[in-house]
Amino acid sequence: MWPFNRDIKLKKTGLLEGFRECHCHLLPGVDDGVKKMEDTLAILAHWESVGVQEVWFTPHVMEDFPNTPEHLQARFQEVQQAYEGPIRLHLAAENMLDNLFPERLEKRELLTLWDNHLLVETSYFNPPLRMEETMEDIKKAGYRPVLAHPERYRYMDMADYRNWKARGVLFQLNFPSLVGAYGPDVQHKAHTLLEKGMYNLTGSDTHSPGFVHYYLDGKLPRKTVDLLRPLFSR
């Protein structure tokens, strides 16, 4: 163990040994994430070196990136054919709660994480119309809503977070938030939500090789690492 009061780089904490990554944009050329297959393979190789065991690709599905399950599955098969390492790869999606989402939900055109966990997001600045009704519709359809990176939503405060938790919505932490990847306000929110035990899942939301190096070299206090261990071991 490291000295009691000393911060430690994320890659030295051991948190990533056996880790299941549940939010990343490694499917090349389908959204604002990785563009080239070689970058996807480079990131996977780097994750191998720190012990990541399982990766769920979660490309955006939204009005700006109207990806269909068929298109994403075809692209994912190309990655599976190109990748020869030990990490287990899976395909899901990050679904924007936009005007097209109700139609996708009705048609069941959704790619989910394990056990029907459905990763969803909203605008960072404003909640979508009928958000409460939409979350209820998701649950009625048999999915378990997982709100991606709640610490990044500027319109949410602690009362909002408590409301969503009471409604059975799970929270997914972007752990790079804890090392300041999105600025000090998001960093403070992430630490607060972590300390209050609000998170259920964690992922990196990786979009590029450079981002991987940024957060792996980011430093965390020992207290934060201890709070993260249950999330990383799930």
Q: What is the mean pLDDT of the chain?
A: 96
Give me the residue spans of the domains in the chain. Answer: 8-232
**Which helix (H) or strand (E) segment is 89 a member of?**
strand 88-91
How many angstroms separate the CA atoms of 139 and 121, rounded?
A: 15
198-220 pLDDT, tens digit per residue, is 999 999 999 999 999 999 999 99
Q: Mean of the pLDDT values across residues 143-154?
A: 98
With cut-offs at 50, 70 and 90, classify the pLDDT of residue 5.
low
CATH 3.20.20.140 fits 8-232, yes or no: yes
- b/e per residue 20-42 (b: at least 16 CB within 10 A): bbbbbbbbbebbebbeebebbbe
How many angstroms separate the CA atoms of 2 and 38, rounded?
A: 36
On the question of pLDDT at 194 being above 80, the answer is: yes
With cut-offs at 50, 70 and 90, classify the pLDDT of residue 2.
very low
Neighbour-count burial of 219, counting CB atoms closer than 10 A to its CB (0-12 exposed, 13-18 middle, 19+ buried):
middle
pLDDT at res. 4: 54
8-51 pLDDT, tens digit per residue, is 999 999 999 999 999 999 999 999 999 999 999 999 999 999 99
pLDDT at res. 48: 97
pLDDT at res. 234: 77
Work out the number of other CB atoms within 10 angstroms of the CB of residue 225.
19
- The token duo for 55 is 């990766």
pLDDT at res. 42: 97
56-97 pLDDT, tens digit per residue, is 999 999 999 999 999 999 999 999 999 999 999 999 999 999
How many angstroms separate the CA atoms of 180 and 9, rounded?
A: 13
Task: State if pTM tops 0.75.
Answer: yes
Q: Which residues contact 172 (CB under 8 A, 6 or more apart)?
A: 22, 23, 119, 146, 147, 148, 149, 150, 199, 200, 201, 202, 203
Q: Mean of the pLDDT values across residues 117-129?
A: 97
**Which helix (H) or strand (E) segment is 69 a member of?**
helix 69-82
On the question of pLDDT at 197 being above 70, the answer is: yes
